[in-house]
Each structure stands twice: as structure tokens, then as C-alpha cells.
Structure 1
Amino acid sequence: MKQHMPFSYGKIFAIGSGFFALMLIWTFYNAYMPLILGDYIESRAIRGAIMGLDNLLAVLLIPIIGAWSDKVDTKLGNRLPFLVVGMPIAALFFILIPYGAAVTLWVLLVVDIIFLLAMTIYRAPVIALMPDHTPPDKRSTANGIINFMGGIGALVALFGLSTLYGIDRSYPFIIAGLLLFLAFMLLYFVVDRRPPYVDSSKEDLEEVKATQSFFHGLGKLKKPEFRGHLFILIAIFIYFIGYAGLEAQFTVYAVEYLNMEESTAGFTLGFFSLAFVIFAIPAGLLGSKLGKAPTMLIGLVLLPIIFVSIPFLPSISTVAPSINQVLLLQIVLFIGGIAWSFINVQAYPLVSDLGGKNKIGYFTGLYYLFSMASSIVAPGMLGLLMDIFSHPSLFYGASVTFLIAFYFLRKGSLIVRQQHNNNSFSA
């Protein structure tokens, strides 16, 4: 009887508010935390290593907490207890980040670590709310809504909060923290304590499967029949190093090398995200027409060309760049966001298709494992290149990762296609 409850778009949008706040916080944090750390730490590599901490916590703890939230049973249900603990604490300590930064580095780091732990506590449970409240046949639609709201959150962070940052450093942290708390209040009063589809959602929660893939199935990739699959996953790991590193270090490049205002740097990065949101659906349609791997390969060729051109754009690194110079950089980043949509929109569907219907969960877990693991090392790795070879090496290093990924993706997709053809012939 419970399984036949009507599907509520209102609840999905309410749940989407949690993902909106999540992406709002993470996007702003990734753009501006390296600049705040720069008040105390000159090395881009060390700042990048600190930025990788959230991804390390994600890989280690999110699958455990997600699995825990599957099993726990309280008066508030199984997901809400994690939201009750994580979201208010994360909101409070996010607000405290600029105030901690005004005291000492150690106070800032303590505030930052508590904030990261709180975010990790609620991340998997809040994502799990969508399948808990959605029948399996509606989950693609609901996931589109959730990801759309997450994309809006990222745009609000880079365009709206960046503007506030230029007025007062504390303002965007206060606003974002309050929005996170409001999202918590909405979720607390809207979501079901005993959602109707919780049993079927346990098998579909994507990020939680990363641990299961690591401990129970990673060894399978060593087998010859999985060689092509492994190459594709390696490609994803490598190009995410370029993407995540650029996301974390771009504002450092813009502020320290181009002498941009900090608020303008984040606003400029927003054009990359804006293009991705606008072209996500067209990129998906292109992937349906040309194929997922060929579309990704096009993006992996275009993006390095775009990135390598950025250090050669007309700019003046001794004084603040002019409006026209900033506009040109924004246009180039917008074009880069289009190329990124060719890559990222296809990646998860490509990986989830590798094992057929019976192994979607297994390869979903591997996708999240490889993509999140790369984000641990990416900010520090590209930051080290900036320390050794100067700031423009950020774009050169990112470009190299995309070209290496091109090689592995092309080789892996050819092997998988050949295996599929052989199996079809045998059948």
C-alpha cells in the first residue's frame, strides 16, 4: 500500500533545496577558501592540500555515514537525525570561517575542520532523501530537478555571493550559512519520517556505493576482461585532477597573478559554471547522437586548447586588468564550460553502462570513487606546479591532464567496444 503513494514534485523541490544549499556552500568554499588561507600561507601547494581535506573526508566517511543512515531507526526516521546534527553545525561554522580567519591560522583551521566534518555528516543522507521519496520510474526526472537546483546554487555562489564578498568578506558566509539553515528547516518539516520508497532507495544511493566498490570489487579491474573499463576510470580520475585543481586554484591565479579583485575572480569563474548549466542538456543530446565516448573525446581536445590560451590573453599582471580584459577572460571561460559539458555530462552514464543492468551499482560506486579520489590530490598537485613554475602553469598542468585522459578514454572505449562486438558475435 505504501508503495503506491503519489509522487510529490513539491517534496522533490524541497529536497532540492538541500542540494541547492550544499552546492552553494561548496562552490563558494572552493573558490574563496584558498584566498583566505593565503592570508597565512603563501604556498599554493599547501593551500591546495588543505582544500583536498574535504574530499578525503568524503571518500572515507560519506559511504560509511550513508550506510549507517540506511540502518538507523529513530523517531525522526533514518535520514533526518544526520541532518539535525550536520546542517545546523555546518551552517554555524561556515559563518564563523571569516571570523576565525581574523584571529589566527589555527583558529581558522579548527573552524574549517568542524565545518567539513559537519558537511560530511549530512551529505549522503540529504542526497538519499530523493530516492527515499521517489518511485524508481520517476528518479531520472527527480534527479534532473535536484541537479538543476544544485547548478543554480553554484551560480548563486559565484555571481551573487562573490559580489557580496567585495563589500565585506563576512557577508557571503553569513548569507550562505543562513540559507543552509533555512534549507534544514524546510527539510525538517517537509520530508517524511517514514518515506515510502526507502527500501528500494538503499540499492540506488550512488555515493554510498563507493566503499562497497572499493572493498568488494576493485580487484576485479585487474582482470583482462575489465582492462578497457579500468582505462576509462583512469581517464576520469586524471581529467578530474585538472578540473578540481582549476576550480580550487583559479581565484588564486586571478587575484595573485592578474591582480583582480577577489570578488571579481569568483564572479569570473562563474561563467564556466554558467556555460555548463546552459549546455548540459544540449551536450546530453549530442552524446545521444554521436555516442558518449566520442563526445567526451571532443571535449577533451577542445578544453586543453582553451586553457592553454588563457595565459596568452591580453592582460597586465602589474596593475589591475581592465574591464575589457576581464570580459575576454570571462568569454573564454564560458567557452571552456561548454567543452566541459561535453565531458562531464556523458561521464557517469558511460561508466554506469559498462557492466550492463546487473552491475550499474558496482560501476556507479567506482565512478564516484575515482572522481572523488582525484579531488583529494588535485588542488595540492596543481598548486605545487604554481609554486615551482609560476601561476600560469595552473592551466598548462590542467591541459596535460585532459590530454592524458584523452589517451586513456580512447584506448579504453576501443577495448570495451571490441569486447562488446566479440560477445555479440559469439552470441
Structure 2
Amino acid sequence: MIANKPFSYGKIFVIGSGFFALMLIWTFYNAYMPLILGDYIESRAIRGAIMGLDNLLAVLLIPIIGAWSDRMNTKIGNRLPFLVIGMPLAAIFFVIIPYGAAVALWVLLVIDIIFLLAMTIYRAPIIALMPDHTPSEKRSTANGIINFMGGVGAIIALFGLSTLYGIDRTYPFIVAGLLLFLAFLFLYFTVDRHPPYVSSTKDELEETQASNSFFEGLRQLKKPEFRGHLFILIAIFVYFIGYTGVEALFTVYAVEHLEMAESTAGFTLGFFSLAFVLFAIPAGLLGSKRGKTPMMLIGLILLPMVFICIPFLPMIDEVFPNINEVLLLQIVLFLGGLAWACINVQAYPLVADLGGKSKIGFFTGLYYLFSMASAIIAPGILGLLMDVFSHPALFYGAAVSFVIAFYFLKKGSNIVTKTTPKGT
């Protein structure tokens, strides 16, 4: 019986170490790759478009790989073959990114594409390892552990690896690559070859949900009864443009406009992530008590106010020369992270609730479709604004996206409230 099948939180932590390394590398890559590309490419729009490539590959390839890993049958199971290929390859090519950047742009781009493909190969299978090893009643707890470890990886990337970057550009790539390879060894020698709870888990992956929902979702959203739902999804699409664009291009703004050291720029961005991790659980509790939509609307008011303030911080330094401008920016970003927690923690549960219990999977797919589609185009769009209107346009453009999202979320929620029968 299922109850007698083995379950170990130790194995969940080992699986979490893979997600830790994954988020460590992605966070550092998103913060510093635009700066490395800046050695050859002046246009922020082009650099932003390149930064959207990983999300495009994710949407196109990960559903295929996830389904393939469901059907795979080897001596080492169905997930590990993808980890054996993807994780060491990604570690190697991540380590050599700065060395390729020192040679020529085409060498850097070739290394980058191979690295992104390697990351894509193992991302779906490593996420699927959690439900493979966990009974359904413990998956929420296990997912919390894994996401916490991912959050810790992101914080270490921006605080720890950024410090190493200031010493030598190659050091953080070497350390992150070694940590990824070490996580691979932990996984390879710890996880079960044939896990006790293995089943078709591809539908639980973000990118699979996005891909599978595309055509069916767009057809359904044309119906009048889904008008409010569509407005809420548009709100999510629009505000993710602002968030993803700032995440990818903040270091470009800090280095090129504020003349901040590259390592300091990444370290400063870490305060946004730190605030989000610290406030995620309280924000969830507040959402349960005050309502998901009201908490999101509060965040959609506060975050654009934070972003609009950022370009004016250098002026405060001119009036009050004793104020540490970098510290002030870190405090403002920390406040922004609190506002982002109000928004992002509530978003998926709100969308999942839209269709009731019978359509959770359908609306989950739509959520990931709209959020990931914006992540593909956001860095390019906000990078273009920076090219045309100067660097501060990054924050003005992001602020506008949140204001537009506020309008659509409020309008959509009002429609859904009016059209949803009481008691459902």
C-alpha cells in the first residue's frame, strides 16, 4: 500500500540541493550576463532579447523533455539520464562563460547557447524528482522545502557570488559550477532509481502547463463568461514585464548609469530578493486573512512608487552629501521586495481559484502561459526603452506596467465577483 512505501525528508533536501544550485546559477546569470554581453553589445534591447532566450527555450523544449522523462526506462531510472547529461554539461559551460567572453562575442554566444540547452535538459526532470519521491499528502511541505532552498540559492548568488565577482570575474562561475556538479553527485548517489511514487508528473511543470494550455486556453478565453478571468491574466502578463525587465537589467542600470561596481550592483539587487524571501510567508498569511486580490492591489500601488523613486535617489545624494547612496538604494529595493511579495505570493492561488476545483489544472496552465510569455519579451522591451529614453526609463517603464496591471486586476476581479454565483 502507498502508506507503506518509503519516504525520506533527507532525500527531499538532497533534491532541494539541485534546486538550490539551479536558482543559484539562474539568479547570478540573470544579474551578470547582461553586463558581460555589454563588453560587445551596447544596445540594452539586444542584450535584453538575448536574456529572454532561456525562457523561450523553456517553453519550447521543457514540455517535450518532461514527457520524454516520463516514458524513459533505463537501469538508472527515468529522470537520472537527463541529469547525467544536463547537470555536468551545464556546470562545465557555465564555468567557461567568462573565458569565452574574453575571446570573442561569437564564442561567448556559442557557449551561452550550449549552457542554456544543458540547463533545459535537466530542469524538468529535477523538478519532477520531488513528486516521484513524495506521497501526495506531503507534497506541499516538500515543495515548501525545495522552494525555500531555491530562495536561499538566489540570495547567496546575489550576496556571496557578487562579492566573488568583485575579486575576479571568473571566481563566481567556478564556484557555482562546482556547486552544481556537487549537487549532481548528491542526487546521483541518493535518489531512487525507481522512486516509489513515480507517475506522470509532466503536467505539474510550469513550462508544460504553459505549452499545453496555449491553444485551448486562448479559445476558452474568447468566451464572454471568461472576460473577467482574461483581465486578471492580462494583469499578470503586464506586471511580469516590469518585474522580469528590472530583474534582468537592474545591474546594467547600476553599472552604466550610477557607475557602481559590478559586484556592488548584484549585491544591491540581493536586497529585493532577501525581502521577498523574508516576507513570503507573512504575505501569504495576510492574503488568507485580508483576501488575495486586495493584497495584490496594495502591492501594485506600492511597487511602482518604489520604482519611480529610484531614479531620483542620486538627487537626494546631491542635497544631502553625507547620505550613502548605495545604502539608500538597498533600503528602497528591500521595500520593493516587500511589495513584490504582496503581489507574487497571491497570484497563482488567485488564478487557481478562478475556475473552482474542476478547472485548477486549466487555470494553472493559463497562469504559467501568461507569466512566462512576458518573461520572454520583457528584457527586450525595457532594454529598448533604456536605449531610446536613457537608463532611468527602466524603472518608469516597469512602474507603468504595474499601474496598468492594477487597472486590469481590479476590473477583472470586479467582473468575476459579479458573475460568480454565491457559495461557489
TM bracket, shorter-chain basis: over 0.9
Matched residue type, 2:249:
Q
What is the deviation of 1:344? 0.5
**Residue 346 of structure 1: aligned partner:** 346
Matched residue type, 1:19:
F
Structure 2: gaps of 5 or more residues? none
The answer on whether the counterparts of 1:22 and 1:180 sit within 8 Å (CA) in structure 2 is yes
The answer on whether the counterparts of 2:206 and 2:365 sit within 8 Å (CA) in structure 1 is yes
What is the deviation of 1:215? 3.6
The answer on whether the counterparts of 1:237 and 1:373 sit within 8 Å (CA) in structure 2 is yes
Listed one character per residue, the Cα deviations across residues 284-331 of structure 1 (whole Å, up to 9, x for unaligned) are 01100111111001000000001001111135999xx98811000000
**Residue 129 of structure 1 pairs with residue 129 of structure 2:** yes
The answer on whether the counterparts of 1:131 and 1:204 sit within 8 Å (CA) in structure 2 is no
1:31-70 to structure 2, matched below 5 A, reads 31-70=31-70
1:4-403 to structure 2, matched below 5 A, reads 4-199=4-199, 201-314=201-314, 324-403=324-403
TM-score (ref. length: structure 2): 0.96
The answer on whether the counterparts of 1:242 and 1:399 sit within 8 Å (CA) in structure 2 is yes
The answer on whether the counterparts of 2:59 and 2:208 sit within 8 Å (CA) in structure 1 is no
Matched residue type, 2:248:
A
Distance 1:313 1:28, change over 3 A: same
Distance 1:3 1:110, change over 3 A: farther
What is the deviation of 1:206? 4.2
Matched residue type, 1:352:
A
Listed one character per residue, the Cα deviations across residues 35-80 of structure 1 (whole Å, up to 9, x for unaligned) are 0000000000010011111111111111111111112211121111
TM-score (ref. length: structure 1): 0.96
**Residue 422 of structure 2: aligned partner:** 424
Distance 1:206 1:54, change over 3 A: closer
Whole-angstrom distance in 2 between the partners of 1:163 and 1:66: 36
Q: Secondary structure at the match of 1:288?
A: helix
Whole-angstrom distance in 1 between the partners of 2:22 and 2:169: 20
Listed one character per residue, the Cα deviations across residues 326-352 of structure 1 (whole Å, up to 9, x for unaligned) are 000000000000000000001111111
Distance 1:144 1:171, change over 3 A: same
Matched residue type, 1:424:
K
The answer on whether the counterparts of 1:206 and 1:361 sit within 8 Å (CA) in structure 2 is no
What is the deviation of 1:195? 1.0
Whole-angstrom distance in 1 between the partners of 2:167 and 2:84: 32
Listed one character per residue, the Cα deviations across residues 190-211 of structure 1 (whole Å, up to 9, x for unaligned) are 1111111112645534442222
Distance 1:315 1:68, change over 3 A: farther
Whole-angstrom distance in 1 between the partners of 2:252 and 2:184: 32
What is the deviation of 1:149? 0.3
Listed one character per residue, the Cα deviations across residues 197-255 of structure 1 (whole Å, up to 9, x for unaligned) are 11264553444222211143331111111111111111111100000000011000000
Structure 1: gaps of 5 or more residues? none
What is the deviation of 1:3? 5.7
**Residue 413 of structure 1 pairs with residue 422 of structure 2:** no
Distance 1:202 1:110, change over 3 A: closer
Matched residue type, 1:349:
P
Q: Percent identity?
A: 80
Listed one character per residue, the Cα deviations across residues 345-386 of structure 1 (whole Å, up to 9, x for unaligned) are 011111111112222112112111111110111111000000
Listed one character per residue, the Cα deviations across residues 376-402 of structure 1 (whole Å, up to 9, x for unaligned) are 111110000000000001000000000
Q: Secondary structure at the match of 2:314?
A: coil
The list of structure 1 runs, each at least 4 consecutive aligned residues, that deviate by more than 6 angstroms after superposition, is: none
Q: Larger deviation: 223-232 or 31-40?
A: 223-232
RMSD of the TM alignment (CA)? 1.7
In the alignment of these two chains, the number of paired residues is 422
The answer on whether the counterparts of 1:131 and 1:197 sit within 8 Å (CA) in structure 2 is yes
Q: Secondary structure at the match of 1:208?
A: helix
Distance 1:316 1:287, change over 3 A: closer
Distance 1:323 1:68, change over 3 A: farther
